Amino acid sequence: MNEADIPIDIHALKLQEWLVSRRIVSKNFQSQIKDIRSKISNAIQDMPANDELIKLLSGSHINYFHCKEIIEILKQTEKDTKSVFGTYGSKRMKDWQEIVKLYEKDNIYLGEAAQLLVRNVNYEIPNIKKTMNKCEQQSEECLKRIQSISKTENVLLNEHTALCHQLGIKGSSLKEEFLEKLKDLPEIYKESIKNVGNLREAVDFYNDFLQDSTHLPLLQHVIEKGNTTVYEFLNKEAPLKVEENPVKLNIESETEVVNNEIDFGTSSESTTSAEMIDFGECDLNSTITLETGEIDWGAGIDTVPETPNEIDFNIQLEEYGIVVEGMGMDGGIAKGDQAYTILDSPNYRSRFLDELYELEAFLKMRVFEINQLETSGNIMLSLMDNLSTHDNKSITKMLSTIDHILGEMLSERTRHLFQLKHSPKYADILANKLKQKLIAVEKIKVSKEVLKERSVDFLKQKIEVKPVLEDMIAQTKILQGHIEKDISKRYKNRVVNLMGGVNSL
C-alpha cells in the first residue's frame, strides 16, 4: 500500500496541537495575529463599492482565505492601476497583499484557521443551537403556562357561577340583586319547615319519655302556629304592628338608597320614620301592677247622687285621639328582635336549631336502644314501656323529617341570605369575594394574551437565528475544507480527515 493512499486523520479539537507538534506553526503565532488583525481593520475602511466585497466583508471574522478572495476581486476593480510589470499602484491592493504575506509568514494563517475551526465547532455553533432550543423551549413553556392558568380561570369562573347560583343572582348589580333576593327569605323559611308538622309525634314521644311537656318550646310553637314573630311566641298573641329593623348593606362604591324602608348607612343626615319616633321602652315580659285606692263604703249602697249622669258606652275612642296599644288580647307593636320571625331572628333561630338537634339526638339514641333490645336477651320492662308505641321504622321516619328541615335551613343559599340581612359587613365581604374572582379572571386573560405574544416572539427569535446557524455551519465547512487541502499539499496530497469537525454536528 502506497503512503499516498494512507489518509491522515486528525481530531479537529486537537488540530492546533497537531500543527505545533509537527513544527508547521510556531507556539507564539497568536501574538503575531494581533498586528495582522489591526491591518485588516484599517484596510476595510477603504474598500470599493462591490457587491461581492460587501457580501464577503459582512462575515463575523475575516481570515486568510477571505483575504485571498478579496485580492482576486480587487484585481478586477483595481486593474486600471496595474503596470506593465504586473504590479498594482493601488494602495488598496498593496494593503491586502501585505496582509496575505504576513499571514503566510511562519504559516500563521493555518494556526489562525485551526483556532477559528475549534472555536466554531466547540463554542459558536453549539451556542447558536442552544439559543434556538431555548427559544423553542420557552415558547412551549408559555403554551403550557397558558393551559395551566386556563384551568385556574375555569375554576374561578365556576366558583363565581356556583356562588351566584346559590344566591340566585346574575352578579351584574350586586346590591340591587341582594336586596331583591332578601325578599325571598320568608318564602324560603316557609318552604324549609313545610314538613315541621310531621314532628308533632316525635315531640310528644320526647315529652312522654321525660314526663314533662315544657321541653322544646320553640319547636312546639312552630309546629302549632308556624314561623311567627318572636313577639307572638313571647306574648302568646300576634302583634298589631311589626316594625322590623331596616336592612343595611355596606357595599363599596354603591351608595344609592333603594326604597324608603332601607337605610344603607350612607348619610348621617337621613333618618327613617323609626328613628324620628320614640316609642319608649317596653318590657313585654314584666308583670303589670295596677295601683288601687281604698274604697269608702261609708256612704252606703243606697246613696244616690242628686244629679246622676248616664254613661254612653258607644263613644268612639278614635274621635278623641285615644289609641289602645297592647292591652289584653288586642296585641301591641313588635320592634327590634321581637319583630323578626323565629327562623329569621339570630337568637331564636339558633335556639330552634338546638331544639331540632336535641330531638334528633334523642331519636338516634332510641334507635340505638331498640337495636340493642332486639339483639339482647335481657329486656328492661321500663324501657320497653317507653318504646312500645314506636318502632325502628317510625323513628327513622321522624329522623328523616328532621334531616330534611335541617338541610333546608342550613343550605348555602339560606345561610348567605341570612348573613346578608343581619350582618352589614357580610354584604361587602360577599360582594368583594365575587368581584375578586372576576378581577382574577380578567388578570388571567391579560396574562394569557401576554404569554401568547411571548410564545410567538420566541418562535420568531428561533426563526431569525436559524439563518445565522446555517451560515455559520457553511462558513465553518468551507474553512475546514481549506485546512484539509492545505495540510494535504504538505503531505504529497494525502487525504486529510478532520474528525469531530463541523460534519459531526
Length of the chain: 505
Residue 346 lies in a domain: no
| Count of CB atoms situated within 10 Å of the CB of 273 | 10
* Of 182-186, 289-293, 351-355, 403-407, minimum mean pLDDT range: 289-293
Higher pLDDT pick, 265 / 394: 394
Residue 403 lies in a domain: no
CA dihedral 232, 236, 241, 246 (to 10 degrees): -20
* pLDDT range class, residue 142, cuts 50, 70, 90: very high
CB 19 within 8 A of CB 86: no
pLDDT value of position 191: 85
How does pLDDT run across 118-138, given as a tens digit for each residue?
999 999 999 999 999 999 999
* pLDDT range class, residue 331, cuts 50, 70, 90: low
* 410 pLDDT higher than 70: yes
Q: How many distinct structural domains can be found in the chain?
A: 2
Residue 466 lies in a domain: yes
CB 179 within 8 A of CB 262: yes
What secondary structure letter does DSSP report for 164? H
What secondary structure letter does DSSP report for 318? G
Residue 359 lies in a domain: no
* 324 pLDDT higher than 50: no
CB 76 within 8 A of CB 129: no
pLDDT value of position 445: 93
Please enumerate in sequence order all residues whose Cβ is within 8 A of that of 378, keeping only pairs 6 or more positions apart, or say none: none
CB 109 within 8 A of CB 37: no
Please give the Cα distance from 272 to 275 (Å, whole number): 5
Residue 7 lies in a domain: yes
* 387 pLDDT higher than 60: no
Residue 427 lies in a domain: no
* Of 10-19, 53-62, 271-280, 371-380, minimum mean pLDDT range: 271-280
Strands 241-243 and 333-335: parallel
What are the grid coordinates assigned to 455, written together? 410564545
233 & 122 share domain: no
Please enumerate in sequence order all residues whose Cβ is within 8 A of that of 30, keeping only pairs 6 or more positions apart, or say none: 111, 115
The whole domain housing 122 covers 3-132+458-504
* 171 pLDDT higher than 80: no
Higher pLDDT pick, 63 / 166: 63
CB 78 within 8 A of CB 90: yes
Strands 496-499 and 241-243: unpaired
* pLDDT range class, residue 257, cuts 50, 70, 90: very low
* 505 pLDDT higher than 70: no
Please give the Cα distance from 98 to 43 (Å, whole number): 10
Please give the Cα distance from 50 to 61 (Å, whole number): 19
Q: Is 115 exposed, middle or buried (0-12, 13-18, 19+ CB in 10 A)?
A: middle
State which of 306, 340, 374 marks the end of a domain.
Answer: 340
234 & 127 share domain: no
**Assessment of whether the complete model's pTM goes beyond 0.85:** no
Please give the Cα distance from 404 to 402 (Å, whole number): 5
Q: Is 285 helix (H, G, I), strand (E, B) or coil?
A: coil
* 268 pLDDT higher than 70: no
Please report the sign of the dihedral spanned by the C-alpha atoms of residue 47, residue 50, residue 55, residue 56: negative
Residue 122 lies in a domain: yes
Instruction: Report which listed range, 66-70, 238-242, 293-297, is most confident.
Output: 66-70
* pLDDT range class, residue 386, cuts 50, 70, 90: low
Residue 45 lies in a domain: yes
pLDDT value of position 486: 93
